[in-house]
């Protein structure tokens, strides 16, 4: 892109990816989640370009850029541009203070691996423009407008967790977030002598958007049945184990399984928060294994590669627990590994994975980090 030569950024933003310790698919069911930002992030550099409405955005990772006019924002045929355009569409509804700008971004976050590079991109864009043009958007405005951008321009009906974690996290903590009220509690995540090791299956979840929307619809179907006799029920968050059980015969068995997973998973988030507060790391691990069983057998969003890695972790005495994280069908597994066993675990997992699938496994440590910030 032409502007890159004379590009002198005035504002640099880091916008992190996130992991979710537990609480998968609970967010759009208005339940609890337990995420935190990680050190991997997108770096976004901004400058005003002196024009009224001409904007240019360039992704170093894709070696691609595009231009658009603030007065004529519409969806693009190039997927990645929609994360940017969706955010601009929302921001320009809220303020008329944005003017022409240039943005260059680069990332060390793997895409489509369940670490939410999408929310990092949206929130980083919104955060940067807020700084560049003094838009007076609050952090919560940035979170919600980014979520809406993903719904309207990208077409993923995501919950609030990814954007919330990317923006609101604090170093050394996970966030116990109530996705219904948005009340949240920072919980110290001191796992020492254990570490959070992520294993990236390298399987990209191309299935994920359609299956994600399908799971969401299945949960809604469950709610619509439960509602008939319990009009106060608005989401699976409002449903107890006992209530669900009473409706078992009235539900399609698949819908029942999905609902059962969500209700159990929601309880697991609360148990996990307690286990962390009690520093009961054995329990942390047990909950993770239990969660993976649900992800794999009840919600059916795992895949052969993730199941293999979780089973592999179970055989290693240095590992307390493991599960697939993210929307599903690949992405990363999260493992709680004793620090003395990390190297052995990673090395042997890489070998075993290569042997089984002929693919490279990429491992990295994730440590709870702070949210989107100006450098
Ligand atoms: P995840 O959020 O788990 O990483 P998604 O499929 O939700 O997976 O989002 C990934 C998409 O976000 C990419 O396919 C791309 O369109 C966009 N994206 C993320 N990071 C970048 C980047 N550095 N440059 C361009 N687009 C990006
Ligand atoms: Mg995403």
In this structure, whether the domain defined by 8-188 belongs to CATH 3.30.230.10 is answered with: yes
- The yes-or-no answer on residue 162 being catalytic is yes
Total-model pTM = 0.91
Give me the sign of the Cα torsion angle 312, 317, 321, 325: negative
Distance separating alpha carbons of residues 63 and 1, to the nearest angstrom: 9
Q: Quick one: average pLDDT of 216-241?
A: 95
Distance separating alpha carbons of residues 62 and 131, to the nearest angstrom: 25
Q: What is the largest CA-CA distance in the chain?
A: 67
* Closest protein CA for atom 9 of ligand 1: 118
| Distance between Cα 122 and ligand 1 center (Å) | 10
Atom of ligand 1 at shortest distance to CA of 79? Answer: 16
| Distance between Cα 326 and ligand 2 center (Å) | 9
Distance separating alpha carbons of residues 78 and 57, to the nearest angstrom: 13
pLDDT for 157 beyond 90: no
205 pLDDT band, cuts 50/70/90, is low
pLDDT at 69: 98
pLDDT for 189 beyond 70: yes
pLDDT at 207: 67
* Residue 60 host element (H or E): none
Contact 161, 123 (CB under 8 A): no
Please name which of 191, 155, 174, 189 lies closest in space to residue 76, comparing C-alpha atoms: 155
Give me the sign of the Cα torsion angle 118, 149, 367, 338: negative
Contact 146, 163 (CB under 8 A): yes
Ligand 1 first shell, C-beta below 6 A: 42, 59, 61-62, 79-80, 83, 105, 107, 111-118, 121, 326
Supply the mean pLDDT for the chain. 95
Contact 147, 28 (CB under 8 A): no
Distance separating alpha carbons of residues 189 and 171, to the nearest angstrom: 9
pLDDT for 262 beyond 90: yes
Distance separating alpha carbons of residues 160 and 323, to the nearest angstrom: 21
3 pLDDT band, cuts 50/70/90, is confident
* Closest protein CA for atom 20 of ligand 1: 117
Contact 368, 38 (CB under 8 A): yes
247 pLDDT band, cuts 50/70/90, is very high
pLDDT at 125: 98
Q: Where are the alpha helices (DSSP H) in 133-175?
A: 139-149, 161-168
* Closest protein CA for atom 2 of ligand 1: 116
Distance separating alpha carbons of residues 126 and 89, to the nearest angstrom: 11
**What are residue 20's phi and psi, to 5 degrees?**
-125, 115
- What is the domain partition of the chain in residue ranges? 8-188
Of 185-194, 203-212, 280-289, 330-339, least confident by mean pLDDT is 203-212
Please name which of 125, 126, 122 lies closest in space to residue 18, comparing C-alpha atoms: 122
pLDDT at 55: 97
Q: Quick one: average pLDDT of 179-199?
A: 96
Atom of ligand 1 at shortest distance to CA of 117? Answer: 4
> pLDDT for 79-125, tens place per residue?
999 999 999 999 999 999 999 999 999 999 988 778 999 999 999 99
| Distance between Cα 224 and ligand 1 center (Å) | 33
Which DSSP symbol is given to 110?
P
332 pLDDT band, cuts 50/70/90, is very high
> pLDDT for 285-302, tens place per residue?
999 999 999 999 999 999
Catalytic residue among 27, 102, 141, 162: 162
> pLDDT for 9-32, tens place per residue?
999 999 999 999 999 999 999 999
Contact 148, 109 (CB under 8 A): no
206 pLDDT band, cuts 50/70/90, is low
* Residue 52 host element (H or E): none
């Amino acid at each position: 892109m032409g502007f890159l030569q004379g590009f002198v950024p005035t504002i640099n933003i880091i916008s992190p990816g996130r992991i979710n310790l537990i609480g998968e698919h609970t967010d759009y069911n208005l339940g609890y989640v337990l995420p935190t930002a990680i050190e991997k992030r997108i770096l976004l550099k901004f400058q005003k370009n002196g024009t009224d409405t001409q904007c240019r955005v360039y992704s170093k990772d894709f070696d691609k850029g595009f231009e658009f006019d603030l007065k004529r924002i519409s969806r693009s045929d190039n997927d990645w541009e929609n994360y940017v355009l969706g955010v601009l569409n929302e921001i320009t509804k809220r303020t008329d203070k944005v003017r022409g700008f240039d943005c260059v971004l680069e990332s060390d976050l793997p895409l489509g691996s369940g670490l939410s590079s999408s929310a990092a991109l949206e929130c980083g864009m919104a955060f940067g423009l807020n700084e560049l043009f003094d838009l007076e958007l609050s952090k919560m405005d940035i979170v919600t407008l980014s979520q809406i951008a993903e719904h309207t321009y990208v077409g993923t009906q995501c919950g609030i967790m990814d954007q919330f974690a990317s923006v609101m996290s604090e170093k050394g903590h996970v966030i116990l977030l109530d996705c219904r009220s948005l009340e949240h509690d920072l919980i110290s995540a001191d796992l020492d002598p254990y570490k959070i090791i992520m294993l990236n299956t390298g399987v990209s979840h191309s299935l994920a958007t359609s299956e994600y929307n399908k799971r969401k619809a299945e949960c809604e179907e469950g709610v619509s049945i439960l509602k008939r006799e319990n009009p106060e029920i608005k989401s699976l968050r409002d449903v107890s184990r006992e209530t669900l059980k009473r409706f078992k015969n009235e539900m399609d068995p698949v819908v029942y399984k999905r609902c059962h997973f969500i209700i159990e998973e929601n309880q697991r988030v609360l148990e996990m928060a307690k286990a962390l507060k009690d520093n009961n790391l054995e329990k942390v691990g047990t909950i993770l294994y239990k969660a993976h069983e649900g992800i794999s057998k009840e919600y059916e969003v795992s895949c052969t590669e993730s199941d293999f890695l979780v089973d592999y972790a179970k055989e290693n005495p240095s590992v307390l627990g493991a599960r697939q994280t993210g929307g599903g069908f690949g992405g990363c597994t999260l493992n709680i590994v004793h620090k003395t066993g990390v190297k052995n675990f990673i090395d042997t997992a890489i070998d075993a994975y290569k042997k089984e699938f002929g693919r490279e496994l990429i491992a990295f440590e994730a440590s709870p980090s702070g949210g989107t910030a100006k450098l």
